């Protein structure tokens, strides 16, 4: 697939890039000979009562599709928002916090906030580490209120009959944990299950429901990719200049998608050929935008490594040239998307690459195929919840991560969607 076609394929994805701040580096170029992802001004904000809110466009759920005929709006609160603040904002704009009356409604609303920015690590009502999502419109009425005790929806439009509680997440000190929100028992993993939480706690977003489109205020399209400025680096003074661009993907992105985005702009996912370069690339991506926590492991951005099949003859030839495990494994070889050939430098995390896949619900909720081989490269720290290190991990192609690094210059390899890893030429 040529660059023009790739650019068309991802045009909608790239249309909403926003500014994410400058990265500092020892060698910075003002005019790299490439067409990098643009760095643009961030989208407008809507402030209220001293805290920042970013409403997305309201989305209708037509009755003809089995919906309510209402409109729903996800609102991001980067610094957090209490349940009462969220409900006050919703009422002031003609709505209420969302009512969830069925599994189908839960699916519809959940898809609006299946985005890393709306979620954050929390300590759940039962004391375990978890992942807290946006507020929903239910509150628990205690007997002392004079009303019949129990959960009710804010707009009282229907009874609290449908529920989707996460395991062990109902009935925990209801006088304190008396507000409803999306919740996952696994940090870094999105799910459409619920939990209860004190209303004065701050979640990173909420969902508003409007009975008609005329009531729904305008929103701003939330960005899909956030591209940092291009930086330049040389291994030695006067040596080859290489250009890099870190890109965070708040909604997560697959390796092949990231490679295609890179190719559409004249680059490829980064090739790492030395310890010095590995440290430099890691420093571009070590902040929280690029990382998530999954089952106590820290999972970082995608790199340009991939594992391609090779013949027995090629395996023997590579071994004779000095390439050993894990660069060459069982009829496969680890290579770089930039066309550099087999790995000469590696920095695997302890126990990696393991080519195994025993996870069933990988961040951000994308299931793995348990029989799939792990053929793509990322930064990773096993058992290092919250830790950032420039160590590597192999992962399935079906896994999506929250960022990647593009390299510009050199031999770029464009990968048509759907092609196999072996479509890369073996140098």
Q: Is the domain of 277 the same as that of 332? A: yes
Q: Are 386 and 187 in contact (CB under 8 A)?
A: no
Tens of pLDDT, residues 267-323? 999 999 999 999 999 999 998 889 887 667 888 999 999 988 877 777 777 677 776
279 Rama class: left (phi>0) / alpha (psi -120 to 50) / beta: alpha
Q: Is the domain of 38 the same as that of 53? A: no
pLDDT confidence bin for 70, thresholds 50/70/90: very high
Residue 194 is encoded by which pair of tokens? Answer: 């619920």
Q: Are 219 and 55 in contact (CB under 8 A)?
A: yes
Please give the residue that has the higher pLDDT: either 78 or 28.
78
Domain boundary among 190, 215, 240: 215
pLDDT confidence bin for 249, thresholds 50/70/90: confident
Number of Cβ within a 10 Å radius of residue 123: 12
Tell me what pLDDT residue 392 has.
95
Domain count, the chain: 2
Please give the residue that has the higher pLDDT: either 144 or 12.
144
Kindly state the average pLDDT of the residues 345-356: 85
Per-residue DSSP letter, 211: S
Tell me what pLDDT residue 187 has.
75
Q: Is the domain of 170 the same as that of 281? A: no
Tell me what pLDDT residue 38 has.
61
The answer, yes or no, to whether residue 224 has pLDDT greater than 80, is no
**Which of 55-69, 142-156, 248-262 has the least mean pLDDT?**
142-156
pLDDT confidence bin for 130, thresholds 50/70/90: confident
Domain boundary among 173, 192, 215: 215
**CA separation for the pair 354, 394 (Å, rounded):** 7
Residue 172 is encoded by which pair of tokens? Answer: 């925990």
Query: To 5 degrees, how large is the angle CA 56–CA 20–CA 135?
Result: 35
**CA separation for the pair 62, 66 (Å, rounded):** 7
Q: What does the chain come to in residues?
A: 427
Please give the residue that has the higher pLDDT: either 300 or 411.
300
Q: 98-121 burial string, b = 16+ CB within 10 Å, else e?
A: bbbbeeebbebbbebbbbbbbbbe
Q: Is the domain of 20 the same as that of 51? A: no
Peptide bond into 354 cis (omega under 30): no
**CA separation for the pair 8, 223 (Å, rounded):** 18
Q: Is the domain of 13 the same as that of 91? A: no
Number of Cβ within a 10 Å radius of residue 275: 11
Tens of pLDDT, residues 163-194? 999 987 776 666 788 999 999 888 777 889 99
**CA separation for the pair 355, 10 (Å, rounded):** 30
Tell me what pLDDT residue 27 has.
36
Q: Kindly report the CATH number assigned to the domain that includes residue 325.
A: 3.10.100.10
Q: Where are the beta strands (DSSP E) in 230-330?
A: 231-234, 241-254, 267-269, 292-294, 297-309, 328-329
Is pTM beyond 0.75? Reply is no
**CA separation for the pair 123, 63 (Å, rounded):** 38
Domain boundary among 215, 239, 264: 215
pLDDT confidence bin for 424, thresholds 50/70/90: very low
pLDDT confidence bin for 85, thresholds 50/70/90: very high
Kindly state the average pLDDT of the residues 370-395: 81
Q: Is the domain of 290 the same as that of 350? A: yes
Q: Are 91 and 206 in contact (CB under 8 A)?
A: no
Q: Is the domain of 67 the same as that of 211? A: yes
Residue located via tokens 């930086």: 231
pLDDT confidence bin for 28, thresholds 50/70/90: very low
Q: Is the domain of 193 the same as that of 51? A: yes
Domain of 182?
46-215
pLDDT confidence bin for 36, thresholds 50/70/90: low
Quote the mean pLDDT of the chain. Answer: 76
Q: Is the domain of 233 the same as that of 165? A: no
Q: Is the domain of 117 the same as that of 177? A: yes
**CA separation for the pair 418, 426 (Å, rounded):** 19
- Largest pairwise CA distance in the chain: 82
Q: Is the domain of 302 the same as that of 342? A: yes
Q: Is the domain of 383 the same as that of 246? A: yes
């Amino acid at each position: 697939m040529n660059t023009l076609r790739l650019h068309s394929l991802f045009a909608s994805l790239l249309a909403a890039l926003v500014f994410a701040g400058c990265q500092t580096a020892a060698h910075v170029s003002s005019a790299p000979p490439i067409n990098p992802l643009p760095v643009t001004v961030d989208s407008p904000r809507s402030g209220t009562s001293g805290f920042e809110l970013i409403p997305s466009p309201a989305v209708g759920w037509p009755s003809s599709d089995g919906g309510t005929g209402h409109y729903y709006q996800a609102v991001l609160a980067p610094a957090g928002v209490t349940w009462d603040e969220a409900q006050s904002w919703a009422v002031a704009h003609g709505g209420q916090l969302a009512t969830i009356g069925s599994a189908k409604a839960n699916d519809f609303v959940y898809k609006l906030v299946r985005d890393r920015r709306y979620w954050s690590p929390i300590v759940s009502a039962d004391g375990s580490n978890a992942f807290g999502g946006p507020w929903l419109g239910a509150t628990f009425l205690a007997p002392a209120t004079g009303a019949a005790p129990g959960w009710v929806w804010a707009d009282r439009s229907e009874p609290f009959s449908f529920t989707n509680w996460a395991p062990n997440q109902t009935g925990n000190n209801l006088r304190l944990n008396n507000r409803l929100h999306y919740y996952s028992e696994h940090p870094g993993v999105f799910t459409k299950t619920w939990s209860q939480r004190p209303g004065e706690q701050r979640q990173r977003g909420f969902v508003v429901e409007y009975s008609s489109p005329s009531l729904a205020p305008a929103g701003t399209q939330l960005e899909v990719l956030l591209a940092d400025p291009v930086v330049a680096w040389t291994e030695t003074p006067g040596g080859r200049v290489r250009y890099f661009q870190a890109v965070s993907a708040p909604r997560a992105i697959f390796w092949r998608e990231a490679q295609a985005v890179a190719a559409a702009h004249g680059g490829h996912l980064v090739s790492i050929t030395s310890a010095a370069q590995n440290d430099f690339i890691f420093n571009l991506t070590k902040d929280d935008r690029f990382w998530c926590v999954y089952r106590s492991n820290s999972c970082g951005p995608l790199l340009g490594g991939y594992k391609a099949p090779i013949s027995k003859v090629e395996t023997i030839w590579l071994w004779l040239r000095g390439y050993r495990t894990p660069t060459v494994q069982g009829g496969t070889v680890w290579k770089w998307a930039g066309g550099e050939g087999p790995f000469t430098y590696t920095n695997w995390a302890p126990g990696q690459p393991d080519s195994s896949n025993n996870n069933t619900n990988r961040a951000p909720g994308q299931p793995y195929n348990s029989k799939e081989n792990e053929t793509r490269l990322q930064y990773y720290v096993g058992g290092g919840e919250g830790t950032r290190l420039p160590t590597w991990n192999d992962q399935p192609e079906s896994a999506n991560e929250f960022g990647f690094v593009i390299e510009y210059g050199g031999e770029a390899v464009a990968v048509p969607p759907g092609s196999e890893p072996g479509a890369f030429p073996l140098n």
